[in-house]
Amino acid sequence: MLIPKLAQRNLIGAGARTWLNVVTTSLALFMIVFASGMYDGMIAYTKRVTVATEIGGGQYWHPAYDPDDPFSIDDSHGLLPDELRQIVRRGEAMPILVVQGAAYPAGRVLPVMIRGIPPQQSIIDLPTQVLQAQPDGALPVLMGQGMARLSELEKGDRFVLRWRDVHGSYDARDAEVVGIMDVENFKVDLGQVWLPLELLRTMVDVPGHATYVVIGADEALTAASGEWVPRDHIFLLQDILNAVKADQPYVWTLYGLLLALAAMGIFNSQVLSIFRRRREIGTLMSLGMHRGRVVSLFTMEGALHSVYALLLTIIWGAPVLYLVATRGIPIPYDGADIGIVMGQRMWPVYSAGLLGGTVILVALIVTLVSYLPSRRIAKMNPTDALRGRAA
């Protein structure tokens, strides 16, 4: 117990130098936890919203369906295979039909994707029940806030919707906005208008057809789906996962810089400490302390910085992190502008792995940078050290 006690006493005795290093390390620790928490929170939120409002438990796609290829979408629909028809009948899934069209709000033209969805569905979290309304002489249309803003439409407004039927003939009718949904997933909002599925099937003259099938969040994808292609979460969330992967090097660079900031301070402090305390080192050795124990003493002094930094972070950082976690951080811009799904507030997620991992990582690096300069002590001659000479 001699070494820990001695290390602690020396560290506190060093005064401002110690506290400066502790504060720097604490800031680095806080920033890593904070940034990682925000990042993880954003990813978790995006996944949660995407699953809830768009992809459910997974999807089955018509063999020709490719949402990234607008040229093929109008040909990407067909009758459901028996297996899918059965799970739809059981209420475990719902079909969606996608048709390209054009909206003419206030006489302007906007290309839109017309999506037919069963109004009574409960598979995804969209307020499609409003589509059961039957406005006089108009098609009932549900759209997101972003689309409403873009088209300058409000609930109850009418506009002309134009599309082509399966044979290629143009058709157009008045449509009425029966609902505007507050949805944070721009993929179901911008450029999208939602209509009752059966109505859209009639409009396009494709009875029983669908473009894809969404299964309930608790349902599992099975291989037996005719020629329709099962798409699981890994595939459907690929965009998000790829974005995370692409961001990873930048995130690690940021953490590296923060850790380097803390580590350099401690390393510098250790080098200076060993230089200035040569006589003390010589005295300890002369009194019989083994070189290894002297190295351990100095290493522990450095490593204790991380302990103090952790305590300091708990005192000031934990309340801040808690506050952010409970209140979130308002986002001043729309995620759709930068092509990501995000809410109006960002909510961090601090996992045990993140907290524990960050503390261990910081402690290891601080210990390492404390040990490296201390190795010089092993080479010191006690008599030189007593005279104040370096090794």
Q: What's the closest the beta carbon of residue 161 comes to another protein, in angstroms?
A: 10
- Segment lying near another protein (by CB under 8 A), choices 20-28, 104-112, 191-199, 302-310: 104-112
Q: Residue 258: which of 340, 304, 313 has the closest Cα?
A: 313
- Single-letter residue type at 254: L
- Segment lying near another protein (by CB under 8 A), choices 69-77, 124-132, 266-274, 283-291: 69-77
With 0-12 CB in 10 A as exposed, 13-18 as middle and 19+ as buried, what is 82?
A: exposed
108 binds another protein (CB under 8 A): yes
Q: What's the closest the beta carbon of residue 105 comes to another protein, in angstroms?
A: 10
Q: What's the closest the beta carbon of residue 100 comes to another protein, in angstroms?
A: 7
How many angstroms separate the CA atoms of 214 and 195, rounded? 16
- Segment lying near another protein (by CB under 8 A), choices 21-29, 80-88, 99-107, 218-226: 99-107
- Segment lying near another protein (by CB under 8 A), choices 70-78, 194-202, 217-225, 290-298: 70-78
147 binds another protein (CB under 8 A): no
Q: Which is nearer to another protein, 172 or 264 (CB)?
A: 172
How many angstroms separate the CA atoms of 176 and 181, rounded? 14
Q: Which of residues 152-211 bind another protein (CB under 8 A)?
A: 160, 162, 164-165, 167-173
Could you say which DSSP state residue 72 is in? Answer: T
Q: Which is nearer to another protein, 17 or 162 (CB)?
A: 162
Residue 340's contacts (CB-CB under 8 Å, 6 or more residues apart) are 46, 240, 243
Is the Cβ–Cβ distance between 347 and 328 less than 8 Å? yes
Q: Which is nearer to another protein, 75 or 232 (CB)?
A: 75
Q: Which is nearer to another protein, 103 or 359 (CB)?
A: 103
Alpha carbons within 13 A on the beta-carbon side of 113:
22
75 binds another protein (CB under 8 A): yes
Could you say which DSSP state residue 237 is in? Answer: T
Size of the site for another protein (CB under 8 A): 24
Could you say which DSSP state residue 225 is in? Answer: B
How many angstroms separate the CA atoms of 169 and 270, rounded? 80
137 binds another protein (CB under 8 A): no
106 binds another protein (CB under 8 A): yes
Q: Where is 141: in which H helix or E strand?
A: strand 139-144
Is the Cβ–Cβ distance between 309 and 362 less than 8 Å? yes
Binding site for another protein (CB under 8 A): 70-75, 100, 102, 104, 106-109, 160, 162, 164-165, 167-173
